[in-house]
Amino acid sequence: AVQIAVSVLLILALIGAFIYLLWTINRQNKLALLRKSFVNNMTHELKTPVATVMAAVESIQRYGARDDRDKMEQYLRISHRELEHLANMIEKVLQLDIDEVTGVNLRMTEVDLAKLLEEGVEIAELGAKKEVSIDFVGRLPKLSLIADAGHLKNVINNLFDNAIKYSHDSVKIQVGLKEENGTVVLSIADNGLGIDPIYFKDIFEVFFRVPSGNLHPVKGFGLGLAYVKQVVKQHGGTIKVDSILGKGTVFILTIPTQ
């Protein structure tokens, strides 16, 4: 009987190991696919602005645009816009330089959350190429946290950026901030395209982008939310998403005050 029990256990262990192996291979395959689409994306995204700036500079050098003030200004404006776009992309990729073990490097100081949000709103409204209105639900409470100001600012910027990117022309964003039982609760709701609930977990994975065909050819690398989640987690907090397709999305962050 002991022998049978040992054999059964052994067989179970083998089956377990086999299933684990299959699961790992499946996960690796998925990751490899995501990585491939990231590299494709990235290559395309980097090539376009570089080629545009190159063409603008060449035109200035070659075709005497130097003597044509209007043309010169146009080329400089285009170059500036494209370089800004490049700098933005580089910033995104650098943000993801997360150590697998230690995560991002946090420098904790006292952070005034209302101020951070107000700055975030300003940046989002200023940089938007659409009509955007961002409102606070009620009055912003005075809340301070011991946190990393720089990373939290990036978190807020990423969420505003997405709310603006994945939306139609007139964007309305509602921001809520409150404290509940020693926890700061921040919500950012948009009236954009929405996310199918089947993707709620995936969107926080590195490189993942909701497959959307040509519905909304919005540029991105699938890095932002993975970074956001990492930073929130390192502050001891959580992030949740809720959404209705075609109506809008809300991200809810909680961070303990202690």
Query: Mask of contacts with ligand ADP, 237-256, x by CB under 6 A?
Result: ------------x-------
* Extended beta strands in 127-169, E state: 131-136, 144-147
Report the nearest approach of ligand ADP to the CB of residue 155 (Å). Answer: 11
Q: Which of 218, 91, 236, 89 lies closest to 162, judged by CA?
A: 218
Sites for ligand ADP among residues 178-237 (CB under 6 A): 190, 192-193, 195, 203, 208-210, 220-226
Give me the torsion for CA of 156, 162, 163, 169, rounded to 10°. 140
Nearer to ligand ADP, 75 or 221 (CB): 221
Nearer to ligand ADP, 56 or 120 (CB): 120
**Torsion angles phi and psi, residue 246, rounded to 5:** 80, -10
DSSP character at residue 107:
-
Nearer to ligand ADP, 75 or 208 (CB): 208
Sites for ligand ADP among residues 119-178 (CB under 6 A): 162-163, 166
Residue 82 interacts with ligand ADP (CB under 6 A)?
Answer: no
**Torsion angles phi and psi, residue 73, rounded to 5:** -65, -35
Helices in 181-239 by DSSP H: which ranges?
224-234
Binding site for ligand ADP (CB under 6 A): 162-163, 166, 190, 192-193, 195, 203, 208-210, 220-226, 249
